[in-house]
Each structure stands twice: as C-alpha cells, then as structure tokens.
Structure 1
Amino acid sequence: MQIYGDLGSGNCLKVKYIADATGTPYVWHEVLARSGGTASPEFLALNPAGQMPVVVLDDGRPLAQSNAILRYLAQGTRFIPADRYDAAKVDEWLFWEQYSHEPTVAVARARVVYDKQRPEDLDPALVARANKALDRLEQALTGQNFLVGTSLTIADIALLAYTRQAPQGGFDLSGRPALLRWIAVCEHELGLPAFTAEH
C-alpha cells in the first residue's frame, strides 16, 4: 500500500497509526501540506478533491478521507467492535471528529504552527468551539480509558492525533486529567513516544 500524506497533519497521522497497529505494509510518500503537492496533476488523479491523506491499495485503487481509510484498514480487526451498536458508536465519534473537533482544534493549531499566529490572537469563537470539543472528550473519558468499550478502537485513533497536538495551538490540557490519561494510554497502546508541544 502507498500512503500519500504529511507527517505534520493529524489526519495523515491517523492513517499511519492504524497501518502500524494492524501491521499493514506500506510505503510513505511525504507530501507537504503547503507545498502545492496536492494540486499536482498526479495527486489530483488520486484524489480530485486535492486533500490528504490518500492511500493507493495494492490493487491500484485509491482511497481518500482519513476516517474512511481508518475503517477500511481496521475491518476485521480488534479496532472495530464486533457488536453492531458499539461499532455504530465508533462511527458516531468518527463523524463528530470531522464535524466538531478537527475544524476547531486542528484549524487553531494550523494557524499557530503554519501561519505563525499567536494563540492569543486567534479568533475567540474558534478557540471557544475548540475548547468545547476538548471538554466533550474530557467528559466522555472521565471514568473510562477509551471512547467506546474497554479497548482501543479507531474512534480513539481518529481523535488522538489532533488532541495530542492541541498544545501546539495554545490549548492547555492540564485541567483535563481524563484526557491526559487517555492520551498516555493510547500512546502506550500504539507504541508512540509521549507527545510534547515542541514536536
């Protein structure tokens, strides 16, 4: 499998996390988010939307959208629950991540990391929505190690990447102990080094 992505992007890291966790062989092709690489004819042939990540399966078929790729690679593994309701709860988190979490937490981080805005200069409404998303995770994880059930699923993987990067956007996670514990548990499960804002 070929993976086209940017290791600075949480959406791309999700795909790396699940590929590594499932032992899926792949070749990583680094495409820098702001290099114009996603606008090349070669990339647009893989994903006309011009977005990363994209994978090309061993049979040559391309697949885009990070959470669709997560679901594809996790089929038949422990990362998608066998119980239909639990599997639907995983999907619930995947849809919420793309609608409420990524457009706020990730966007704020991008403006600080890539656009060099100071966190205090970010749009207060954006920051408020991002904090609301982080608080929602804190609430959901209070008293449990994972978002769905008692083991790691692609719901956790989908939300881990940008949540652990949130301090780079100026978000203080120190008042969210359940979230910090969950990040540490997920990092351990996935064999990742502890994240620091300086990464």
Structure 2
Amino acid sequence: MRLYSMPSSGNSYKVRLLLSLLARDCQIHDVEYLSPALDAARLAGRLPFGKAPVLELDDGRLLPESNAILCFLGEGTDYAPVDPVLRAEMLGWMFWEQNQHEGTIAVRAALQFYPHRRAQATPERMAELLGRGHANLQVMENRLAGRDWLVGEAPSLADICLYGYTHTAGPRGGFNMARFPAVNRWLARVAALPGYRGLEA
C-alpha cells in the first residue's frame, strides 16, 4: 500500500499513527502543502478529492478521507468494536470529529501554523474559534471524566481519530489545555500505546 500523506496534517497523521499501532507495512509518500509533490499527485489523479490523505491499495484502488481510511485499516482489529452499539458510538465520535472538532481545533491551528493562511486569522475569527474549540474540548472532557477511552473499555478508532488534532491543540492552536485534565490523561494513554509514533516521527 501507499499513503499519500501531508506530514503536518493531523488528518494524515492519524492514519500514520494507526498504521504504526497495527505494525502495517505502507509506503509513505509525502505531499505537503504548496509542494511540487502535492501538485504532481493531484495531476496524476492520485488525490480524488484534491487533498491528502489518500490510501492507495495494492490493486491501485484509492481510498480518500482520513476517517474512511481508519475504518478500512481498523476492520477486524481490536480498534473496531464488534458490538454494534459500541461500533455506532465509535462512528458517532468520528463523525463529530469531522463535523465539529476539526472545524475549530484544526482550523485555528492552521491559521496560525501555515504562513499562507495567516491573513485569515483576524482577531474576531480567532476569538470565535477559541471559544468554540474550548466548548468542543469540554465535550471530550465530560466524556473522559471517569473513563479511560471514548468508547467501551479499550482504545478504538474514535481515540485515534480524535487524538490527531487534540494532541497539538495547545501548542499549535493556543487552546488552554490545563482546563481539561481528563483529556490530558487520555492523551498520555494514547501516547503510551505499543507502536505509538509521534506527528513528526
């Protein structure tokens, strides 16, 4: 398999993280923002939605979208619950991550991290994203208070999915992570999983 991966992106990172946790062999092809490699992958038709990550299977089929890739890789592993209710809860968190969490946590970080986006980081927008992001982190805090994982009694794809952008929410996004002790304990548990790799590893 080959993963078209944006090194700085949390969406690409969560796929690399799951591959590492599962000890799956995969060729990583870096396609960073504004790079010739990204342009070449688009021109070659390797990015169906125009962005990374995309997993290219051995038979040439292309799987775009990070959470869809997680579901494919996680099928039949301990990271995908067999119980239908737990699986639905897991998917619910993964849908929420893309629908709510990423639009605040990842966007605020991107406006600060990527030079070509800083012009969009108006004080009004940054303040609005900070407030909404803290509210989303509080949703996670409430869920993780008194429990180790987002779903069930073991780590699932929901944890891998939400770890991607949450673990850099403080340094990249400027969120006050001291307000969320249960989230911080959860971050440490994910980082202690066998096979864990960091964003820049």
- Any residues of structure 2 matched to 1:167-182 within 5 Å, and which? 167=170, 168-182=172-186
User: Which segment drifts farther, 120-129 or 107-116?
Assistant: 120-129
Aligned twin of 2:160: 157
Q: Secondary structure at the match of 2:4?
A: strand
Q: Secondary structure at the match of 2:189?
A: helix
Q: Which amino acid in 2 is paired with 1:54? A: V
Q: Which amino acid in 1 is paired with 2:190? A: C
1 CA distance for matches of 2:47 and 2:35?
16
Judging changes above 3 Å, is the alpha-carbon distance between structure 1 residues 12 and 43 closer, same or farther for their aligned structure 2 residues?
farther
Residues 20 and 196, structure 2, Cα contact 8 Å, conserved in 1: no
State how many pairs are aligned.
197
* Higher RCO (Cα < 8 Å, 6 or more apart): 2
Q: Which of 186, 189, 194 is matched with 1:185 structurally?
A: 189
Moved over 6 A (4+): none
1 CA distance for matches of 2:197 and 2:76?
27
Judging changes above 3 Å, is the alpha-carbon distance between structure 1 residues 56 and 175 closer, same or farther for their aligned structure 2 residues?
same
Cα deviations across residues 101-159 of structure 1 (Å, max 9, x unaligned)? Answer: 01110000011111385989353222211111111111110000100001110000000
Matched, 1:54 2:54: yes
- Consecutive unaligned residues in structure 1, runs of 5 or more: none
Q: Secondary structure at the match of 1:29?
A: strand
- Any residues of structure 2 matched to 1:13-24 within 5 Å, and which? 13-24=13-24
Give the root-mean-square deviation of aligned CA atoms: 2.4
Cα deviations across residues 14-37 of structure 1 (Å, max 9, x unaligned)? Answer: 110111111211011111123364
2 CA distance for matches of 1:38 and 1:44?
10
Structure 1 vs Structure 2: percent identity of aligned residues?
35
- State the TM-score, normalized to the length of structure 1: 0.90
Q: Which amino acid in 1 is paired with 2:61? A: R
Q: Secondary structure at the match of 1:186?
A: helix
Aligned twin of 2:73: 73
- Consecutive unaligned residues in structure 2, runs of 5 or more: none
Residues 43 and 50, structure 1, Cα contact 8 Å, conserved in 2: no
User: Which segment drifts farther, 63-72 or 23-32?
Assistant: 23-32
Aligned twin of 1:102: 102
